[in-house]
Amino acid sequence: MTKPAELRGLSMEALQQRLDEAQAELFSLRSQQATVQMENPARFGILYSEIARIKTILHEKTSALPGE
């Protein structure tokens, strides 16, 4: 799990890439759950938290841009 301080140091593009990767992994986990091949069901909670954390930091960065 990534700490918020680490995420705040990343660029907008890197954050968006991290978000896309986390969402793709979540989709994969949902597919595994549907076919009963789950290895680590606790990963759902970790991914939900990480996605929320990344979205929050992206929102902070976009609302802090000048001229908006």
CATH number at residue 59: 1.10.287.310
Range of the domain at 24: 4-63
State pTM to two decimals.
0.81
Q: Is residue 51 part of a domain?
A: yes
pLDDT of 52: 95
What is the DSSP-derived secondary structure letter of residue 36? T
Q: Are 58 and 12 in contact (CB under 8 A)?
A: yes
Residue 17 has pLDDT above 60, yes or no: yes
Lookup: tokens for 62:
């976009």
Task: Name the percent of the chain lying above pLDDT 90.
Answer: 53
Token pair 């597919």: residue: 31
Residue 11 has pLDDT above 70, yes or no: yes
Q: Using alpha carbons, select from 13, 28, 18 the residue that is nearest to residue 51.
A: 18
Q: How many domains does the chain have?
A: 1
Q: Is residue 31 part of a domain?
A: yes
Q: Is residue 68 part of a domain?
A: no
pLDDT of 23: 96
pLDDT of 22: 95
What is the DSSP-derived secondary structure letter of residue 33? H
Per residue in 37-62, pLDDT tens?
778 888 899 999 999 999 999 999 88
Who's near 19: CB < 8 A, 6+ residues apart?
A: 51, 54, 55, 58
